[in-house]
């Protein structure tokens, strides 16, 4: 019987050393497909997943990750990249999908006029308003405007360049968790690594300047010494609040 989600969550650990055993890149690819099903802000899908299997590139990335064991013993790596710079094309793809959906529903006799207007407004006006900026100047104006409007009613306030950076990386992190749990379900192990020279990694992978690395995840089958210590979590009562 395959693992339940709870099984995978409990069994997943950050593995620091892998066996010298190859893993199937096609199975890893399937887990990356699961990553794309993660929830994300406005369904903009501002992410990219670089699946590394080439031994020479793996060695270069391991060096950029300070040759930590989790990197230098891994058999595959996946670089999770935030692509906020793709907001225009992703907004257009979302709108095209919805327009085609509404066309089909109209032929079935479903009234979609209101939803069509709302979706066009959302992806053609609201998304450009949120993601457009000019050296941070527009962001400051939007922040001031949201503060004033917020005195009278609820308003979206994460409008600065730095705010949107956080929003995008949160979505990518959700995808990364989907990936790691999927890998655990098929018997593969992972380690999410934030310790890296991201500028060097971007250069190795020929990523554009505006691309931002959320994390690098190493992959393999854990060595018996791959988990350094038992799992520790602070008391649940310390982090759980019910209101």
pLDDT tens for 42-56 read: 999 999 999 999 999
Section 153-166 average pLDDT: 86
151 vs 219 pLDDT, higher one: 219
Rounded Cα distance between 139 and 130, Å, is 9
| Confidence label for 110 from pLDDT (cuts 50, 70 and 90) | very high
- CATH number 3.40.109.10 is the correct assignment for the domain at 5-84+163-229: yes
Alpha carbon distances (Å) from 156 to 27, 31, 86, 141, 150: 40, 33, 21, 14, 8
**Averaged pLDDT score across all residues of the chain:** 95
Find the range with the poorest average confidence among 3-12, 77-86, 145-154, 221-230: 145-154
List every span in the chain annotated with CATH 3.40.109.10. Answer: 5-84+163-229
Which of the four pLDDT bands, split at 50, 70 and 90, describes residue 137? confident
Which pLDDT band holds residue 63 (cuts at 50, 70, 90)? very high
Pair 211, 80: CB distance under 8 Å: no
Residues of the chain by 3-state class (helix, strand, coil), percent to 5: 55, 10, 35
Q: How confident is the model at residue 1 (pLDDT cuts 50, 70, 90)?
A: low
Please indicate, yes or no, whether the overall pTM of this predicted structure exceeds 0.85. yes
37: Cα separation from own chain's centroid: 10
Q: Span 172-199, mean pLDDT?
A: 97
- What is residue 24's predicted lDDT score, i.e. its pLDDT? 98
- The strand pairing partners of 48, in sequence order, are 81
Residue 136 binned pLDDT confidence (cut-offs 50, 70, 90): confident
């Amino acid at each position: 019987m395959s693992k339940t989600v709870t099984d995978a969550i409990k069994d997943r650990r950050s593995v620091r050393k892998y066996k010298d055993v190859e893993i199937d890149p096609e199975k890893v690819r399937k887990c990356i497909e699961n990553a794309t099903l993660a929830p994300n802000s406005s369904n903009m899908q501002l992410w990219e997943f670089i699946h590394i299997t080439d031994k020479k590139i793996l060695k270069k990335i391991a060096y950029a990750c300070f040759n930590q064991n989790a990197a230098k013993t891994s058999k595959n790596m996946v670089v999770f990249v935030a692509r906020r710079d793709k907001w225009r094309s992703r907004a257009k793809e979302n709108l095209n999908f919805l327009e085609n959906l509404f066309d089909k529903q109209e032929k079935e006799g479903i009234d979609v006029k209101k939803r069509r207007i709302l979706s066009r407004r959302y992806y053609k006006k609201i998304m450009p308003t949120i993601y457009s900026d000019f050296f941070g100047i527009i962001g400051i104006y939007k922040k001031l405007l949201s503060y004033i409007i917020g005195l009278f009613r609820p308003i979206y306030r994460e409008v600065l360049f730095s705010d949107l950076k956080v929003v995008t990386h949160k979505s990518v992190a959700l995808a990364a968790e989907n990936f790691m749990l999927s890998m655990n379900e098929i018997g593969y192990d992972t380690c999410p690594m934030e310790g890296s020279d991201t500028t060097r990694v971007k250069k190795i992978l020929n990523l554009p300047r505006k691309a931002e690395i959320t994390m690098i995840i190493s992959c393999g089958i854990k060595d018996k010494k791959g988990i350094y210590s038992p799992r520790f979590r602070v008391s649940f009562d310390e982090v759980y609040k019910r209101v």
